[in-house]
Amino acid sequence: MEPGDPEKHKRVASPRPGHADLAGALKYNFPEARYVLERASARESAARVAVGAIAKLFLRELGIEVLSHVLAVGKATLGSTEVPWEKLQELSASPEQVFVVTAVPDEKKGERLIILHTLGDQALQEVLSKLGETDLPALWKPRPDQFRKIETMPYLGTGKLDLRRVKELGNELA
């Protein structure tokens, strides 16, 4: 680190809740989180997302399409790491998300999570079956009684999910 105001260079031994400090310090094997603070800041992330979106538009003009997918979350992995390009295109064309998680009041625990979804009964059963086959810890797997059907996802005029309405729906269906 460069010399300067010592207040700006204090040791950061405790990661901040809700930030990527701990993950960054572990990933890069740093003894503290100071070195990853700006790498994990919302301001820095917003700039990267904006530049990436502009780059994707530029590449599209050149006939190049950019798509991505997750291969693994922890020890849970796709059965095959080969995902056909056509499948990625099909998934990226899906106009609407089908799940959203929200917290609702719970007398015993204070609050609990439920999953609002727009799937039909058969499609939900397929999702639950596939989820049951994963090696995710039981604590990470939602139970069937946590799912609540809604007709459509609530969106704002900007196209973003209306989280206030999600919360209202969750409370109504809990």
pLDDT of residue 124: 93
pLDDT of residue 165: 95
- The strand ranges marked E within the chain are 72-73, 76-77, 99-106, 110-117, 147-149
| pLDDT over 80 at 146, yes or no | yes
Residues 21 and 40 sit within 8 Å (Cβ to Cβ): yes
pLDDT of residue 18: 66
Residues 6+ apart with CB under 8 A from 112: 103, 104, 106, 146
Listed by start position, the domains of the chain span 1-66, 92-173
* Mean predicted confidence (pLDDT) in 103-111: 90
> Whole-number mean pLDDT of the chain?
83
**pLDDT digit string, tens, across residues 21-50:** 777 788 888 888 777 776 666 667 777 778
- pTM for this model (two decimals): 0.53
| Closest by Cα among 117, 118, 113 to 102 | 113
pLDDT of residue 101: 93
| pLDDT over 70 at 97, yes or no | yes
CATH T-level topology, domain 92-173: GMP Synthetase; Chain A, domain 3 (3.30.300)
| pLDDT over 80 at 20, yes or no | no
Q: What's the pLDDT band for 1 if we cut at 50, 70, 90? A: very low
Please tell me the distance from the alpha carbon of residue 60 to that of residue 66, in angstroms, as a whole number: 8
| Token pair recorded at residue 8 | 């700006």
| pLDDT over 90 at 148, yes or no | yes
Please tell me the distance from the alpha carbon of residue 115 to that of residue 165, in angstroms, as a whole number: 14
In 3-84, which ranges are continuous DSSP H helix?
A: 21-27, 42-61
Percent of the chain with pLDDT over 90: 29
Query: Which residue type is seen at 164?
Result: R
* Mean predicted confidence (pLDDT) in 6-17: 73
Please tell me the distance from the alpha carbon of residue 135 to that of residue 66, in angstroms, as a whole number: 30
pLDDT of residue 40: 60
